Amino acid sequence: MKDFGRIPAWGVAAVGVGAVLFISVAHAMATAATDQLGIWQQVWGWTPLILFGPPGVLGGMTLNILISFLAMVIGTMTGVLLGILQLAPAQIVRRTAWGMTQFFRNSPWLVLLFFAMLLLPFELRFGGLRVPVPDWLKATLGLALPVMANLSEVTRGAIRSIPEGQWESCEALGLTRFQTYSRVILPQCVKRMMPPWMNWYALLTMATPLVSIVGVSDAVALTRDALAASGRSDLLIPMYLWLLLWFGLYCYPIALWTQRMERRFAVIS
Amino acid sequence: MDGVAQWFLWLHQAHGANFTIFYDAFDSARFLRGIGTTIRLAVVSIVASILVGILGAWLQSHPSRTVRWPVTTYIQFFRNTPPLVQMYFFYFALGPALGTALGSSTPPLGNFAWAVIALSFYGAAFNIEIFRAGLEAVPRATLEAAESMGLSPRQVFLHVVFPLALRFSLPALTSNVINLAKTTSLAYAIAVPETLFVANQIWSDSINVLEMMVSLLIVYNLMVGVIVAAAHWLERRLRMPGYIQ
């Protein structure tokens, strides 16, 4: 007790204040930790919905990827054709193809998406048969338009980079224009077109969230629905970051692969 | 009513093509305001993205890894995630959080400001790489020549590196500026009254989707045309005979 008496009063006070501070900080941290856990559980709980959509319904990130595949297929087929037409012998064909390419290249993705959503029919009629066109399919066609225009430019550039001698040899061999393209020119273009083609695929995938604006239940629309349903403002930042992360996980490897390919195919001049 | 308005009124009555923006004062006023908002949005975002791009390119040339790493992460994050979600993140997630942090009941920044911030960060991620590529394209021999002429590092940068790098990065910068100008239409999603937003209001009121769509596409194509013309003019002004084509 004697020793205790030597401890000054401010020391006791300091220890007391310290203890109170420690306990309150620990308590705050523990609460925060359970809150953090709560947030993480919430985010994790909504993840299946965001990635795969409601059970039995096409939606979520799966739909984003499906739209990106389909739009890329349509955009590539029409784009390559348009690119070839940009180099057609007839001037009127050349000019028209050039004009279409520039027009769709210079228009914003979102405007073209509205264009397709509002001006394409909601059902097709084959005689008496009525086939409804789902919204997501119209959105896919809308997203295919800018892809088409940009791949048209990529194709034109690739074809023009093939040395003139290739064309002259084909002519000397008596190949038709179709044979020249399909057997000689286009196969050589594939390698050169690969890196920009993949780059456009990544850009297209990052444009698919636009469909949420026109009412398609993709990953972004479902994330917003989930946020509205949970009604928690502390979920806003984690949920949007989580969504960004999923898109990043899909697109970043494509970007890395494209870069590697670009280096490998680099033409050493 | 002037001749143009009369002609479009006639077009509507005789052929059904209803371009209200040319004869209806209310519609034409709001359409013009929308175009004005788009132009303001584009100009501010382009200037800010170039400034952030220069800053980022400067930080990326820093010898320290701890300085370069965050810049690289920022670039990869913004380049590989959807710009629409970035805009939602800024406006719907960071916006309220900033308000809470500042303790204000009203949001400190409006949707126009958040659109500018989101677009600038998105555009800058591309600009950094463009400027860095421009800086790297300056030949070593040119730098050595400049040094052997007795120029100080500052003089080398100001009189040799910068003028060349600017010219090297101009074509890629032009296409990114065009891309950013088109991306301003994303501000529609956070209700900034830009061209697409007002066009949507007009076609909802006047039921003239096709006519507004055509006007909208023409407006954006004209805007891109102006940027391309400006870039060509700048390229001609900056041309150095015998160096870069």
- Give the pLDDT score at B51: 94
Q: Cβ A237–B94 below 8 Å, yes or no? A: yes
Q: Note the CATH architecture for domain A57-265.
A: Orthogonal Bundle (1.10)
Alpha-carbon gap: B101 to the closest alpha carbon of chain A (Å): 13
Tens-level pLDDT at each residue, chain A (269 residues): 444 444 455 555 555 656 655 555 555 555 555 566 688 888 888 888 888 988 888 889 999 999 999 999 999 999 999 999 999 999 999 999 999 999 999 999 999 999 999 888 888 888 888 888 888 999 999 999 999 999 999 999 999 999 999 999 999 999 999 999 999 999 999 988 999 999 999 999 999 999 999 989 999 999 999 989 888 888 888 899 999 999 999 999 999 999 888 888 765 54
- Give the pLDDT score at A269: 44
Contact B214, B53 (CB under 8 A): no
**Number of inter-chain CB pairs under 8 A, A vs B:** 103
Query: What are the tens digits of pLDDT across the range A185-213?
Result: 999 999 889 999 999 999 999 999 999 99
- With CA atoms as reference, the chain B residue closest to A101 would be B221
Total-model pTM: 0.86
Q: Count CB atoms within 10 A of the CB of residue B58.
A: 15
Between A115, A233, A240, which is nearest B213 by CB? A115
Between A110, A241, A255, which is nearest B186 by CB? A110
- Give the pLDDT score at A191: 87
Question: Who contacts B104 (Cβ-Cβ below 8 Å, separation ≥6)?
Answer: none
Q: Cβ B85–A207 below 8 Å, yes or no? A: no
Q: Cβ A114–B84 below 8 Å, yes or no? A: no
Q: How far apart are CA A91 and CA A186, in angstroms?
A: 22
Between B77, B84, B224, which is nearest A220 by CB? B84
- With CA atoms as reference, the chain B residue closest to A213 would be B189
DSSP codes joined into one string, A164-232? HHHHHHHHHTT--HHHIIIIIIHHHHHHHHHHHHHHHHHHHHHHGGGGGTTT--BHHHHHHHHHHHH--
Q: Which of A209-213, B104-108, B222-226 is the least confident region?
A: B104-108
β-strand partners of B152: none
Query: What are the tens digits of pLDDT across the range B168-192?
Result: 999 999 999 999 999 999 999 999 9
- Give the pLDDT score at A58: 87
Domain boundaries, chain A: 57-265
Query: What are the tens digits of pLDDT across the range B128-137?
Result: 999 999 998 8
Residues of A in contact with B188 (CB under 8 A): 110, 213
Q: Which domains does chain B have, with CATH numbers?
A: 38-192 (1.10.3720.10)
B76 inside 8 A of chain A by CB:
yes
